[in-house]
């Protein structure tokens, strides 16, 4: 009798080597010579998950042997997966007529100064080694605006895929790093209202659909509407931007906490905060836009009226594009960056309820963007404005999700009891166990066990990966 160490498949990408992105489950060469005694009711084999050269792991025995906080190396399998992701994103950008540019990772500090609001404290600065004062780029939008102004370009559709740097508090399990890729698509130039803005949303919709990340929602708002709301709630104009950044936390905090920050930290009156609360908790579609256009206070505010009119027009285009179903006009969306002037948006994945997955991947937004009509003018010596709208795809967060999709592990015991292993699966919320014994080997199948349901079914070996993927799909 041989003993079987069941293969436990959960959804984590193994750090495999050059083969690239594949969960590679091969039998140890020595398995035939290692029968391990009479336990259990079927023959069992040791199995080995091949960790090819290039696999991560290791760790830092020596203090210095690490990458900087919030950064990571990418072994070949990561690079292969990331390249496939980037290729899909770039293909979409090109389909929409954009051309690639590249700008330096380094910018003059003064190029970045005064563009990001509260984010500015997260900018990496370079040591003054004589010469210019430099910093690492914080995003690709400000360098693009600098590029447009410097080259006097008033009309351009460009994409840029590159790394940006933020001294943020890293949350690497959620795909938040200090060095990360951004994939930006932007349209610069004067066009009929809302058409470029609608194209940006179409692009987000296409990419998130293409990548099959499950259900998603694109929240849309407009800085002019927010400003209008603040104005009719009697917030002094000097507090608009800082109030924006508090409102933006509504997706992570309950209203009560946001209200507390408004009153406590930002110094709004409780009454003003309550009035804001009535607006910023609203979300909906065309109906909500129509309602707000009739709102006795908002309809009297010029900016809000403009924003709502454009929002209505935007929804008409989105309906024509057939994507309005995934778009939500959401007054709580504010976006953190100072430079937005009009439409803003953010795409979030809708998490499936799944109690069996031990660490649900909460990645927050996977795309965001908006209109920034004033940024180029900040760089132009004569202040000439170039209206711009753009979107940034958070490829790193998407990567974290895909990384969790097919991960596998096994118990590192030389004599693993089957029941013990299945118990481990149940404890850890591992959804499937793949079991291979003598009978399965003879039949060329793998027994796939649904751990929660305690149901087993034989799957032909060559169909195993597809079957697991199918079952793991949201």
Beta strands in 351-398 (DSSP E): 365-371, 388-393
If the CB atoms of residues 160 and 219 are measured against a copy of itself, the closer one turns out to be: 160
SS3 label, residue 61: coil
Query: Is the Cα dihedral 354, 360, 366, 368 positive or negative?
Result: positive
Give the largest Cα separation in the chain, rounded. 86
Per the CB < 8 A criterion, the answer to whether 216 and 348 are in contact is: yes
Compute the least distance from the CB of residue 110 to a copy of itself, in Å.
Answer: 5
Q: How far apart are CA 383 and CA 219, in angstroms?
A: 32
Helix (H) or strand (E) run with residue 449 in it: strand 445-450
Compute the least distance from the CB of residue 122 to a copy of itself, in Å.
Answer: 10
Compute the least distance from the CB of residue 80 to a copy of itself, in Å.
Answer: 7
Q: How far apart are CA 113 and CA 1, in angstroms?
A: 71
Helix ranges, 294-417 (H)? 302-320, 375-379, 395-405
If the CB atoms of residues 181 and 216 are measured against a copy of itself, the closer one turns out to be: 181
Q: How far apart are CA 346 and CA 336, in angstroms?
A: 11
Per the CB < 8 A criterion, the answer to whether 368 and 346 are in contact is: yes
Q: How far apart are CA 68 and CA 214, in angstroms?
A: 33
If the CB atoms of residues 168 and 358 are measured against a copy of itself, the closer one turns out to be: 168
If the CB atoms of residues 61 and 454 are measured against a copy of itself, the closer one turns out to be: 61
Per the CB < 8 A criterion, the answer to whether 399 and 85 are in contact is: yes
Beta strands in 167-256 (DSSP E): 179-188, 216-222
If the CB atoms of residues 60 and 455 are measured against a copy of itself, the closer one turns out to be: 60
Q: How far apart are CA 170 and CA 174, in angstroms?
A: 9
Residue 290 structure tokens: 């129509």
If the CB atoms of residues 63 and 453 are measured against a copy of itself, the closer one turns out to be: 63
If the CB atoms of residues 163 and 297 are measured against a copy of itself, the closer one turns out to be: 163
If the CB atoms of residues 380 and 438 are measured against a copy of itself, the closer one turns out to be: 380
Compute the least distance from the CB of residue 213 to a copy of itself, in Å.
Answer: 22
Compute the least distance from the CB of residue 388 to a copy of itself, in Å.
Answer: 13
């Amino acid at each position: 009798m041989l003993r079987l160490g069941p293969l436990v498949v959960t959804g984590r990408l193994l750090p495999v080597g050059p083969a690239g992105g594949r969960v590679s489950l091969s039998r140890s060469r020595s398995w035939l010579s290692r029968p391990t005694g009479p336990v259990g009711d079927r023959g069992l084999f040791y199995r080995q998950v091949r960790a090819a050269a290039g696999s991560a792991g290791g760790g830092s025995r020596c203090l210095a042997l690490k990458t900087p906080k919030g950064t990571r190396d990418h072994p070949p399998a990561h690079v292969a997966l990331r390249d496939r992701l980037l290729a899909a994103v770039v293909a979409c950008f090109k389909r929409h007529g954009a051309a690639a540019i590249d700008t330096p990772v380094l910018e003059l500090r003064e190029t970045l100064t005064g563009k990001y609001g509260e984010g500015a404290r997260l900018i990496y600065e370079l040591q003054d080694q004589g010469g210019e004062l430099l910093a690492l780029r914080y995003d690709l939008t400000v360098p693009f605006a600098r590029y447009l102004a410097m080259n006097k370009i008033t009309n351009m559709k460009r994409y840029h895929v590159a790394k940006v740097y933020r001294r943020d508090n890293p949350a690497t399990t959620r795909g938040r790093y200090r060095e990360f890729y951004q994939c930006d698509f932007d349209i610069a130039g004067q066009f009929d209202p809302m058409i470029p803005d609608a194209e940006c949303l179409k692009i987000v919709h296409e990419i998130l659909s293409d990548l099959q990340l499950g259900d998603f929602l694109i929240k849309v708002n407009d800085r002019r509407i927010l400003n209008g709301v603040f104005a009719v709630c009697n917030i002094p104009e000097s507090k608009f931007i800082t109030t924006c950044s508090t409102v933006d936390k509504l997706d992570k905090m309950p209203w009560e906490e946001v209200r507390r920050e408004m009153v406590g930290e930002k110094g709004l009156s409780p009454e003003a905060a309550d009035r804001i609360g009535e607006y910023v908790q609203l979300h909906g579609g065309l109906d909500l836009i129509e309602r707000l256009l009739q709102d006795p206070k908002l309809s009297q505010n010029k900016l809000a009226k403009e924003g709502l009119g454009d929002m209505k027009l935007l929804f008409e285009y989105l309906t024509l594009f057939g994507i309005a179903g995934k778009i939500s006009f959401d007054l709580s969306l504010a976006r953190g960056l100072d430079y937005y002037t009009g439409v803003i948006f953010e795409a979030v994945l809708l998490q499936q309820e799944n109690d069996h997955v031990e660490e649900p991947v909460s990645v927050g937004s996977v795309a965001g963007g908006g209109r920034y009509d004033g940024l180029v003018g900040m760089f132009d010596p004569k202040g000439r404005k170039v209206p711009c709208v753009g979107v940034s795809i958070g490829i790193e967060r998407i990567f974290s999700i895909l990384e969790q999709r097919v991960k596998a592990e096994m118990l590192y015991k030389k004599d693993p009891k089957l029941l013990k292993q299945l118990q481990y699966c149940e404890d850890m919320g591992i959804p499937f166990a793949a079991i291979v014994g003598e009978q399965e080997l003879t039949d060329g199948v793998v027994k796939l066990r649904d751990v929660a349901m305690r149901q087993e079914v034989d799957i032909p070996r060559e169909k195993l990966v597809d079957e697991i993927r199918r079952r793991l799909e949201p």
